[in-house]
Structure 1
Amino acid sequence: MWVTYRNSRWELLLFFCGMLIAENDHIRGAHVPASNPALPMEEKPRSTKTKLWPIFWALFSILGLYLMCQPDGRGEITPGWIWLSSLIPKWWKEERYRYWQSTGAVVFIIAVSHSPRWQRFFNLPVVQYFGKISYALYLMHGPAMHVVGYHFEKWAYGLTGVQGYWYNAGFVLGACFCIPTVVWWADIFWRAVDIPTVKFAKWFESKVIAKA
């Protein structure tokens, strides 16, 4: 992890941090049977002393959200970010906004793994659905936007124009068509490719691994 950090490989650093967080969840017994909610729910009786932990994790999650909101540019002159921007190491080669945004992502995930209230939110059906199609969204948003999305935007700006606040109106109008299209394409990919691939991988694993 230190090597990835010193070489500004924020994406690998996030991957390794995710592995460590998942391993820690496994060690502390946070996982539950499949019949229970998708995310672990910590509903154990709490003593007076441990009642402070929910407050701590709530504040910790707010810190993570704040760090993830690091401006993409001009952070060194943005109120609330001047000091934090000055702490970014000089040797950091990637975009400067990746530094605190990556840190915030790790902080937030750690907080969620210990916060029943956040876990309830992420166990909502709609959130679970977007979690399931998240990889498909990552893969399909580019093709969907290039094939049809940018045509929607061009049409929207043709109606609203691009002067002043009409530019924002055109953006919102285009998004009303682009977002459902991207989600639809991702859903199709998830059902047609992602789910069958996972099923095949599980089947193949069951054939090549000897049962104890």
Structure 2
Amino acid sequence: MSSAIFRRGMRLFLPTTISTFIVLLTICLGIEDFPGYRDLPGFIEARPKHLQSILEQFTDWASFVTLELMNPWSWRVFDYRYDSHLWTIPIEFRASMILFLVIIGLARTRTTMRFTLAAASFVYCMWFQKWEVALFISGICMAEMQQIQLERGVLLIRQAWLATFVWSTVIICGMFLLSFPIRHSAETPGFMVLSIITSHYWNWHTYGAILVVWSASNCSFLQKPFNTPFAGYIGKISYAMYLVHGPVLHSLGYGVISTIWEHWGPEHHQLGLVTSFVLIAPIVFWVADIFWRTVDDPSMRIAKYLYLKLTAYKL
């Protein structure tokens, strides 16, 4: 646990610092923006301002990294102008620290009591709309439920075929909740009743994510797609892909889709989206693989190396 806490900040913030620094370089070189991207339909993500000098741009980037990206003290979500997708990173760091605190605090309690207190913590977080912390704590609850089953030697469902059917139904329900729309839920077929209970989509997404993970962790049939070599590879590069997909879309993706729409016309809007995805997705995979090998994986090794050097214990 000491190692996990020590390395967590470096694990999250070293790669993000480098990825946003690359965005800074593309801005200085004038290749970050596609001209006319603001005229594209739909939601336009926050973008960094193009300042007059390299020094001003660097100062703005440094301010973003230190005061926004690495700021664990504010629960406010900033615009994250150097990569709008990075709004989740401070949340993940903060929730991780709370998770470690809960694990340490409950470590010496009995299994059933540990589950009860963790479940109570989940309800407490949801009551105050801290869904991100609730999601992390839900992982404790699911792990403790499995531990209780192992200690008592019982299964929730003994028949294999029935277990597959039940957990498949659960994961479908979870994916349905994860599809709860961000806007206009009260007018969206299939979600009108749920919107009466609450229209806050994060609540439904939280419950949906829990159902998906819970069902997959209890059903060997549902685990098969995640036990393949390709799934393992995707897991390795997943963080790198998360960090690079935004800059790739901003510098290349917007230009590709705009060019396709310009030549094919608005009547082929959906076909243009699909074609752009087919063209850009392999590039995102390729860039993510490079970033994982050159930045993400070395960052993990650096964090581990520092922990070993600064402590008297070996991992």
Fold shared by both chains (TM-score > 0.5): yes
Cα distance in 2 between the residues matched to 1:58 and 1:118: 7
Which residue pairs with 1:41 in the alignment? none
Question: By how many angstroms is 1:82 displaced?
Answer: 1.5
Relative to structure 1, is the Cα distance of residues 69 and 209 closer, same or farther in structure 2, using a 3 angstrom cutoff?
Answer: farther
Does 2:167 match 1:65? no
Relative to structure 1, is the Cα distance of residues 84 and 175 closer, same or farther in structure 2, using a 3 angstrom cutoff?
Answer: same
**The 10-residue stretch of structure 1 (197-206 or 144-153) with the greater mean CA deviation from structure 2:** 197-206
Which residue pairs with 1:101 in the alignment? 205
Relative to structure 1, is the Cα distance of residues 27 and 210 closer, same or farther in structure 2, using a 3 angstrom cutoff?
Answer: farther
Structure 1: stretches of 5+ with no match in the other structure = 30-45, 89-94
State the TM-score, normalizing by the size of structure 2.
0.53
Which secondary structure state, in structure 2, belongs to the residue aligned with residue 170 of structure 1?
helix
Q: Over residues 104-136 of structure 1, what are the superposed CA-to-partner deviations in whole Å (9 max), with x where a residue is unaligned?
A: 011110111101011111112222222221111
State the TM-score, normalizing by the size of structure 1.
0.76
Which secondary structure state, in structure 2, belongs to the residue aligned with residue 133 of structure 1?
helix
Does 2:293 match 1:191? yes
Relative to structure 1, is the Cα distance of residues 76 and 65 closer, same or farther in structure 2, using a 3 angstrom cutoff?
Answer: same
Does 2:171 match 1:50? no
Amino acid at match of 1:71: P
Which residue pairs with 1:21 in the alignment? 142
Which residue pairs with 1:92 in the alignment? none
Cα distance in 1 between the residues matched to 2:171 and 2:218: 10
Structure in which a larger fraction of residues adopt helix: 2
Question: By how many angstroms is 1:152 displaced?
Answer: 1.2
Residues 133 and 190 in structure 1, CA contact (< 8 A), matched pair in contact too: yes
Question: By how many angstroms is 1:80 displaced?
Answer: 2.1
Cα distance in 2 between the residues matched to 1:27 and 1:149: 48
Relative to structure 1, is the Cα distance of residues 123 and 3 closer, same or farther in structure 2, using a 3 angstrom cutoff?
Answer: same
Amino acid at match of 1:167: H
Amino acid at match of 1:62: I
Cα distance in 2 between the residues matched to 1:25 and 1:198: 29
Relative to structure 1, is the Cα distance of residues 203 and 67 closer, same or farther in structure 2, using a 3 angstrom cutoff?
Answer: same
What is the aligned counterpart of 1:75 among 185, 206, 209? Answer: 185
Question: By how many angstroms is 1:19 displaced?
Answer: 4.1
Which residue pairs with 1:146 in the alignment? 250
Which residue pairs with 1:169 in the alignment? 271
Structure 2: stretches of 5+ with no match in the other structure = 1-121
Cα distance in 1 between the residues matched to 2:143 and 2:298: 25
Does 2:111 match 1:7? no
Cα distance in 2 between the residues matched to 1:25 and 1:191: 35
Cα distance in 1 between the residues matched to 2:148 and 2:314: 23
Q: Over residues 138-168 of structure 1, what are the superposed CA-to-partner deviations in whole Å (9 max), with x where a residue is unaligned?
A: 1111111112221111221122122x3x111
Question: By how many angstroms is 1:79 displaced?
Answer: 2.5
Question: By how many angstroms is 1:61 displaced?
Answer: 1.5
Relative to structure 1, is the Cα distance of residues 136 and 62 closer, same or farther in structure 2, using a 3 angstrom cutoff?
Answer: same
Which residue pairs with 1:84 in the alignment? 194
Which residue pairs with 1:123 in the alignment? 227
Q: How many pairs were matched up? A: 188
Question: By how many angstroms is 1:3 displaced?
Answer: 4.1
Amino acid at match of 2:278: C
Does 2:242 match 1:134? no
Cα distance in 2 between the residues matched to 1:11 and 1:129: 26
Which residue pairs with 1:200 in the alignment? 302
Which residue pairs with 1:35 in the alignment? none
Q: Over residues 52-104 of structure 1, what are the superposed CA-to-partner deviations in whole Å (9 max), with x where a residue is unaligned?
A: 3333222222211221121232222223211111111xxxxxx7222212210
